[in-house]
Amino acid sequence: MKIQWSLVCGVLLTALTLDAASATSSQGLSAEQPRVSSADLVELRALGGTLGVSPSGKSVAFQLQQADFAARTYRSSWHVVAIAGGPPIRVGEGGDVILDRSDEGALMGGRVAPTVQWSPDERWIAYLRKDAGTVQLWRSSADGVTQQQLTHGSADVMEFEWSANGESLYFETGREHEAMLAAEQEEGDRGYLLDDRFMPDASRKPLWPICKREQAPAQSGSRQCSTTLRVLELASGQERGATSDEQEGYSLRKRPAAVAGLDSTRQVQKVIRNLAGSRSAWLENENPREFPGLHPPLTLYVDGKRCDAPACHGRLNDVWWRDDQIVFRRREGHANRFSVFYVWAPDKRGAPRQVYRTEDQLDACKLAQGRLVCLYESPTLPNRLVSIDLERGKLRTVLDPNPDFARFDLGKVELLEWHDAFGNPTFGHLVLPPDYQPGRRYPLVIVQYRSRGFLNGGVGDEYPIYPLAAAGMAVLSFDCPTDANFNMRNDPKNLGAWIEASLRDGHERRMDLSALDIVIDQLDQRGIIDPRRVGVTGLSHGADNVEFMLFNSTRFAAAAVSGAWSRPQYFYLNPNTWYRNEMIKYALGAQNAEQVSERGRVASIVYNTDKVTTPLLIQAPDAELLATLPIHIALLDAGKPVETYVFPDEYHIKWQPQHKRAIAERSIDWFRFWLLNSEDASPDKAEQYSRWRKLRGPA
């Protein structure tokens, strides 16, 4: 591992160079290492986003997921492993993929993080499983001998909890599927009323808002929904409704009551109690008037005692009890990249003790026998299960689901830190081709818009970073800057005003473009890239950025987006009043509907195609085709190079593995064509390149 410091354009640029081969394996690797492909990345085994630690802290339960191209889905299975070490035990199948939804009920496409809980006697784990369209409660014995479906209702199980004695399970259910289908059929026979229930980019039918423990805000009175709490007696297998006492106890376990004696106006967050329930700790926003917004500075309190040490104040995220000590995590450093873990003994004198600091990604952390058990990723390592010794500050791998990943030659990765033109800190990771030759200038492809954890393919994992580098291009995995001061000081509860202020005059997009302008100039002056051959990609916020960049900059020689959102056209394609008022109107900076078209002429690529010089590849989910069409057609009519693909049964985040692979491979072809003037000789791609040559026009 090497550390290099460069002073470029008066900006101090930190470049931490990671040797990917040595980072992934302590053993020597052959000079003939293979390059990682798009299919290799899609096929990586992943640990589901949550962990279940047994009551004794000796074992952890997790879900393992992997793409199944033949079945066009992901397969999953449940496992239990001893934290001290040893082989994992497979305890059951995970069922069908569960995709997440917005509160309005629109499918978003991301895979829901699976929830798992241990029984008090550690003989069982309980979890949710989807089969044939319905989510039910299941359990598996920790020894892997038994897997059993526990509920068989028509309604989906939403959440669950073991009883204190382990003899029963509490579970929440939503709407009955049969009742929903019957209501849809009855109304459909008469024709659906076009009202706030509709979001045409998500469904051609009225949406069903998500059921919640408390009453969900009504989009339509008939569609209000609170979950129903039921109890399953395990010995008899009988289900019944929960009593009022059981409902109150369940709510307290799910969300601890406020700390007794505290002024109700105090901004208390993340209340936790010790195992005996006799002590409380919490994080508090001590200055809500100045910091009413996102991620305000917080302060740690224990039993009403304020921790006055500097480490106890700032960007605090997580807190746990460890006997009579408190373990907490604090975000620190440039753009809050570092996770720093501290231990504090509130009953003794002394400041919190730092036990572990890392710039790598640690998620789903749980306390287990004096250790933290977490999911871990680094720029060159896919996710794995690790434990952190809180006495010695040592990290140890408990389970690596992809031990063969070390065989790949990933090249070199540099961590770059800089500030945008407005002074906001940002960073990215520059990935160089495995056969990189100093002194040679390479095309650059920018992948947005977060660069934390394993460098797979940006948000949505559609633009494969290491395969793009292996194809002969430098790749910048870019983490967009955040105006933290603005976010902390403006209240997002007034969502419309907050969005309008944050996007006024394209502020957010100008931040991101200015950051890219600066880093492109730096890489140019270092002699690494050819500034005439720069490509850019994006999904969601990243796609919004690309749209803005294409008519506000001439730096980009090629672009690719995962769907595109036309504004102001989308304002007229969505009848949902909340969405129109709070998102579209304010995102355009308009104060009323009459101003939408006027402001849209400044903010939308549709009205600025004359300024576009960059060829654009759009690979959209069919759920977002309505939002994408105006941009495609406007560019097409203007004679601009654009090509669009539409993927069936996909949503904002595309989830089907065969689609992810196709998108990734076409993206590589696209950037090789425009930035390297190179074509794949495969006969299957002859028609593709024939079209692209026509888009490029005469040489």
Residues classed as catalytic: 540, 624, 652
Q: What backbone phi and psi angles, to 5 degrees, belong to 451?
A: -135, 55
Cis check: omega of the bond before 579, within 30 degrees of 0 = no
Return the axis-axis angle of helices 686-696 and 657-676, rounded to nearest 10°.
50
Q: How many angstroms separate the CA atoms of 125 and 143, rounded?
A: 10
Element spanning 389, H or E: strand 381-389
Q: Show the beta-strand stretches assigned E in 215-360.
A: 228-233, 238-241, 267-273, 280-285, 298-302, 305-306, 313-322, 325-332, 338-344, 353-358
d(CA 472, CA 469): 5
Residue reference for tokens 């500050």 = 393
Backbone phi and psi for residue 343, each to the nearest 5 degrees, phi listed first: -120, 135
Which run of H or of E encompasses 246?
helix 244-254
659, 38 in Cβ contact below 8 A? no
Contacts of residue 230, defined as CB under 8 A and 6 or more positions apart, other chains included, come to 170, 171, 172, 173, 239, 240, 241, 242
Kindly compute the dihedral angle of the four CA atoms of residues 587, 588, 593, 597, in this order, to the nearest 10 degrees.
-150
**Residue 68: count of CB within 10 angstroms of its CB:** 14
Tokens found for residue 691 = 């079209």
Q: At what angle do helices 541-550 and 507-525 cross, to 10 degrees?
A: 70
Cis peptide before 568 (omega within 30 of 0): yes
Q: Among 677, 654, 656, which residue's Cα sits nearest to residue 458?
A: 654
Give CA–CA dist 530/523, Å, rounded: 9
Beta bridge partners of 89: 80
In whole angstroms, what is the distance from residue 47 CA to residue 61 CA?
Answer: 10
H/E element, 578: helix 577-579
Q: Which whole-number Å values give the CA distances from 627 to 18, 335, 539, 549, 562, in the listed order?
A: 40, 33, 14, 18, 12
Amino acid letter, residue 390: L
What is the C-alpha separation between 28 and 21, in angstroms, rounded?
9
- Neighbour count for residue 28 (Cβ, 10 Å): 8
- With a CB cutoff of 8 Å and minimum separation 6, the contacts of 217 are 209
